[in-house]
Amino acid sequence: MTALAVTGPSASLTRLLRQLLRGPLLFPLLLLLLATVAVAAMAVGAAGIPLDRIPAALGLTSHGDMTLIERDRLVLLSVRLPRIAIAIVIGALLASSGAIMQGLFRNPLADPALVGVSSGGALAAAAAIVASDRLAANFKLPFALLPLAAFCGSLLTALILKRIATRERTTSIAIFLLAGLAIGALAGAGIGLLVFVADDRQLRDITFWMLGSLGGATWEKVGLLTPFLLALLAAIPFISRGLDLLVLGEAEAFHVGIPVERLKRIAIVLVAASSGAAVAFAGVVGFVGIVVPHLLRLVIGPAHRNLLPASAVLGAILLLAADTAARTLAAPAEVPIGVLTALVGAPFFLALLLRQRGLAGL
């Protein structure tokens, strides 16, 4: 049976659009979309701000009613802008981590959650919630105990995986992936045990944290997260070519001059630190790391030089849009952001599995 080819004006338009997106139009379009979503996020919410008052609230123009402007400024600077900023940073971290991990594993289904890094952070955070009451009776606990525990849990998980998968200074990616699945399952069992022993308040805290949320965003948290994103973006020029050549196989990449083991170490450290930081401040937000790189790969191709920074921008757009929807759909209550990303990501993931099955002829 002969496959039908799509021809005509629509096919030509699609090819032209892809060529433009792979060229100079990609990042201007993504940044324009990010700015549009950010402006919409400033305007909507439990306390709506009309678009024509936003410039005055930001001090860019003057406005007649100073009472309204002061209220808008307070909402924007204290609540909405920190939340927008943290959504952008965490979305970029999650999507870029997913793109790096897929390139490293040469597996389109890989992301930090799959290898247990996110689960390790979640287990540590749940343990901090359960232990916090007993510790608080004897010690003055810092406000950052929960995110610090989640970050350390993610990093410790990555170190354990690296230790398990490394033998004679060579890291087996297959062992890393399989060990990650086992540790993810172990972390899930640990969280279940903590849920069993938790009281009602702790159980509620664990549940809401596991569902993900960007509530409580502050400029201080944005300042703590931003260096992780800057480090990841700074590493892109140094790892892109290596990730491209890994598609050929580790031996082939080594023979064309890629220091494969050093590339693996850098990639694993970047993914562990980035996903750990994201889990620490947002809880468990799944599917961003899978959905975003695949959407971009379909449009701009697999070259990591463009894929990694574009994933960062599109991840920021996706998480910002999801958070805006999360805080407006049931205002003044909030829908957990992890629920919304799962509602979008899970059908996409299933479609991806079906497509992979079709390509494999199963």
Angle between helices 200-211 and 173-197 (to 10 degrees): 150
pTM to 2 decimal places: 0.84
Q: How confident is the model at residue 202 (pLDDT cuts 50, 70, 90)?
A: confident
How many other CB atoms are there within 10 angstroms of residue 39's CB atom?
13
Q: How confident is the model at residue 32 (pLDDT cuts 50, 70, 90)?
A: very high
Phi, psi angle pair for 361, to nearest 5° = 75, 25
How many other CB atoms are there within 10 angstroms of residue 42's CB atom?
20
Q: Which of 350, 219, 345 is nearest to 292 (CA)?
A: 345
How many other CB atoms are there within 10 angstroms of residue 346's CB atom?
14
98: its two tokens: 């997913």
How many other CB atoms are there within 10 angstroms of residue 74's CB atom?
13
- The answer to whether 282 and 212 are in contact (CB under 8 A) is yes
What CATH class has 79-352?
A: mainly alpha
pLDDT at 74: 87
pLDDT at 155: 81
Radius of gyration of the chain (CA): 22
Q: Quick check: bond before 332 cis, omega within 30?
A: yes
142-185 pLDDT per residue, tens? 556 777 788 888 888 888 887 887 777 677 777 877 888 888 88
Contacts of 320 (CB under 8 A, 6+ apart): 34, 37, 38, 41, 84, 87, 88, 91
Going by their DSSP bridges, the two strands 170-171 and 166-167 should be labelled as: antiparallel
**Is residue 83 over pLDDT 90?**
yes
Structural domain boundaries of the chain? 79-352
